[in-house]
Chain A
Amino acid sequence: MNCVLGVDNVLHDTLLFRVIYEGVGHVLPCGLSYVVAGIAIMMLLVNGVLLGAGLFSWVERRLIGRFHNRVGPNRWGPFGTLQPLADLVKLIFKEDLTPKGADRILFTIVPVAMLAPVVLVMAVVPFAKDTALANLNVGVLYILAVTSITSIAIFMAGWASDNRYAMWGASRGVAVLISYEVPVVMSLLGVVMVAGSMSLNDVVSAQTVPFLLVQPLAFFVFFAGTSAELNRTPFDLAEAESEIIAGYHIEYSGVKFALIQAAEFGAVLTSSAVMVTLFLSGWSGPASSYLGWAWFLMKIGVLAFIFSWIRATFPRLRIDQLLAFAWKFLLPLSIINLFATALEIYFLRDSTGALDTTDLWIMAGINFGVAFACLLVFGTLIKEKVRPAGPLTGATLSTGEAD
Chain B
Amino acid sequence: MYGINMAKGLLVTLKNLTKKPFTVQYPEERVKQHPRFRGEEFVWYEERCTGCASCAKYCPLGIIKIVTTPSETAPAQGDKYRLELFDISINRCMFCGLCVEACPYDALFMGSGFEQGQYSRKKMVIDIDHLRQADKHPSTFFRPQLEEIGYDPRAGRPLDWQEVGRESWQWHEKEKAGMRINRPVPSDLMDQGLPVDSSFVEDSEPAPASTPAEEGE
Q: B25: which of A67, A71, A376, A379 is its contact (CB, 8 Å)?
A: A71
The count of residues in chain A whose C-beta lies closer than 8 Å to any C-beta of chain B is 21
Q: Which of A46-54, A307-315, A353-361 lies at the binding interface? A: A307-315
* Docked complex: A358-376 residues within 8 A CB-CB of B: 375-376
A71 near B1 with CB under 8 A, answer no
Q: B3: which of A71, A312, A375 is its contact (CB, 8 Å)?
A: A375
A309 near B2 with CB under 8 A, answer no
- Cβ of B17 < 8 Å from any Cβ of A? yes
A380 near B1 with CB under 8 A, answer yes
B10 near A383 with CB under 8 A, answer no
Q: A69: which of B2, B21, B25 is its contact (CB, 8 Å)?
A: B21
* Docked complex: B10-69 residues within 8 A CB-CB of A: 10, 12-14, 16-17, 19, 21-23, 25
Q: A309: which of B13, B19, B23 is its contact (CB, 8 Å)?
A: B13
| B residues in contact with A74, CB < 8 Å | 25
A67 near B17 with CB under 8 A, answer yes
As a 0/1 sequence over residues 66 to 87 of chain A, the CB contacts with chain B under 8 angstroms (1 = contact) are: 1111110010000000000000
Give Cα A71–Cα B19 distance, bound, in whole angstroms.
Answer: 11
| A residues in contact with B19, CB < 8 Å | 69
A382 near B2 with CB under 8 A, answer yes
- Cβ of B9 < 8 Å from any Cβ of A? yes
| B residues in contact with A380, CB < 8 Å | 1-2
The tally of CB-CB contacts under 8 A between chains A and B is 47
| B residues in contact with A69, CB < 8 Å | 16, 19, 21-23
| A residues in contact with B1, CB < 8 Å | 375-376, 379-380
- Cβ of A65 < 8 Å from any Cβ of B? yes
**A329 to chain B: closest residue by CB:** B2
| B residues in contact with A375, CB < 8 Å | 1-3
Give the Cβ gap from B146 to chain A, nearest Cβ, in Å. 36
Give Cα A120–Cα B45 distance, bound, in whole angstroms.
Answer: 74
Give the Cβ gap from B66 to chain A, nearest Cβ, in Å. 45
As a 0/1 sequence over residues 302 to 326 of chain A, the CB contacts with chain B under 8 angstroms (1 = contact) are: 0000000110111000000000000
| A residues in contact with B2, CB < 8 Å | 375, 378-380, 382-383
Give Cα A68–Cα B14 distance, bound, in whole angstroms.
Answer: 9
A66-B10 contact, Cβ under 8 Å, with A376-B1, A379-B3, A383-B2:
no
* Docked complex: A283-317 residues within 8 A CB-CB of B: 309-310, 312-314
| B residues in contact with A314, CB < 8 Å | 6, 9
* Docked complex: A25-73 residues within 8 A CB-CB of B: 63, 65-71
| B residues in contact with A312, CB < 8 Å | 13
**B9 to chain A: closest residue by CB:** A313
B12 near A313 with CB under 8 A, answer yes
B23 near A71 with CB under 8 A, answer yes
Give Cα A70–Cα B1 distance, bound, in whole angstroms.
Answer: 31
Give Cα A260–Cα B12 distance, bound, in whole angstroms.
Answer: 31
Give Cα A315–Cα B214 distance, bound, in whole angstroms.
Answer: 63
B23 near A70 with CB under 8 A, answer yes
**B3 to chain A: closest residue by CB:** A379
A66-B17 contact, Cβ under 8 Å, with A313-B9, A313-B10, A313-B12:
yes
As a 0/1 sequence over residues 221 to 254 of chain A, the CB contacts with chain B under 8 angstroms (1 = contact) are: 0000000000000000000000000000000000
| A residues in contact with B16, CB < 8 Å | 66-69
B14 near A309 with CB under 8 A, answer yes
B13 near A67 with CB under 8 A, answer yes
| A residues in contact with B6, CB < 8 Å | 313-314
Tell me which of A313, A379, A382 has the highest count of chain B C-beta atoms within 10 A of its own C-beta: A313
As a 0/1 sequence over residues 365 to 403 of chain A, the CB contacts with chain B under 8 angstroms (1 = contact) are: 000000000011011101100000000000000000000
| A residues in contact with B14, CB < 8 Å | 67, 309
| B residues in contact with A66, CB < 8 Å | 16-17, 21
| A residues in contact with B9, CB < 8 Å | 313-314
Give Cα A222–Cα B23 distance, bound, in whole angstroms.
Answer: 36
Tell me which of B9, B17, B22 has the highest count of chain A C-beta atoms within 10 A of its own C-beta: B17
Could you list 16 A-B pairs, sorted by A, with CB under 8 Å?
A65-B21, A66-B17, A68-B13, A68-B16, A69-B22, A70-B22, A74-B25, A313-B12, A313-B13, A375-B2, A375-B3, A376-B1, A378-B2, A379-B2, A380-B1, A382-B2
Closest 5 A/B residue pairs (Cβ)? A379-B2, A67-B13, A313-B13, A69-B16, A71-B23
With A63-B17, A66-B16 already in contact, 15 other A-B pairs whose C-beta atoms are closer than 8 Å = A66-B17, A67-B13, A69-B23, A71-B21, A71-B23, A71-B25, A74-B25, A309-B10, A313-B10, A313-B13, A375-B2, A375-B3, A379-B2, A379-B3, A380-B2
